[in-house]
Amino acid sequence: MFTSAFTHWTIFRIALQERLVYRGDFAIGTLLRFLPIITQIFLWHAVFAGAHATAVSSGASPQEAERLFGYTYQNVVAYYLLSMLSRAFSSMPGLASGVARQIRDGEIKKFIIQPIDMGGFFLLGRIAHKLAYYSVAIGPFALVFFLCGDYFDTPPSGAVWLAYFASLLMAFLLGFFLELTIGMIGFWFLEVSSLLFVYMLFSFFLSGHMFPLDMLPAWAKVIVQFTPFQYLAYFPAAVFLGKIQGPELWRGLLIEAAWVALFIALSRVALHYGLKRYSGYGG
């Protein structure tokens, strides 16, 4: 057990050191990534202004006219900021394509002949990646959230903070094992880029990254509820804003945990049967 723990610690330490070396540009890069927020603020301001004018002309009260699907203008801007933070946790750029490429190019042989678990190796690398990212990007994140503090209501309670952090942690695990499972399809197909493109397309729209999923039609909400995508961005943001409370909150956390467990199992099954199918030749 000690040898295994030391091996995993060494892998994690090296992965973290490697990422810190080339992440020096993350501070300015992360700050520039928030520039589209300005466009989103103006866009949602125009949307709410138009909706307000329509509601007032229809005889709605001022309070009703200020809301759109239960969100005020300030709520939507705060949601957009929080969804960006959620996606920073759950997104795994290059993971699925990297796994598929290692299978196709034969690099996966190192996991066959060495006593290192493939899934654990990639997981340690991604943990190191996120730690390196946030150790540098925490400054720009804090600055942007400070400047946009007026868009947030009163701070959530301690219980909501715990639920929010739990949802972010599971969003990271869900995003990792979901993409790891997609990458494992490379055991059966030489190219998974088209499948990955379809996944990214659905993930971007159905995760709530563009807008709160509460704004979807009723029939679309039913479909989204049967997918794991909402837990990648929408669910953590909605928890923080208090849109999901009480029994619904605990049910959502349990469902998110179930999705994580499912994709952990699927990734292990795919690796088990994929290695049986795999054929590697050469040195």
* Pairwise pLDDT comparison (71 vs 26), residue with the higher score: 71
pTM of the prediction? Answer: 0.83
Q: What percent of the chain has pLDDT over 90?
A: 22
pLDDT in tens, 200-224: 888 888 898 888 888 888 888 888 8
Rg (CA), the chain: 21
pLDDT in tens, 28-52: 666 666 667 777 777 777 777 777 6
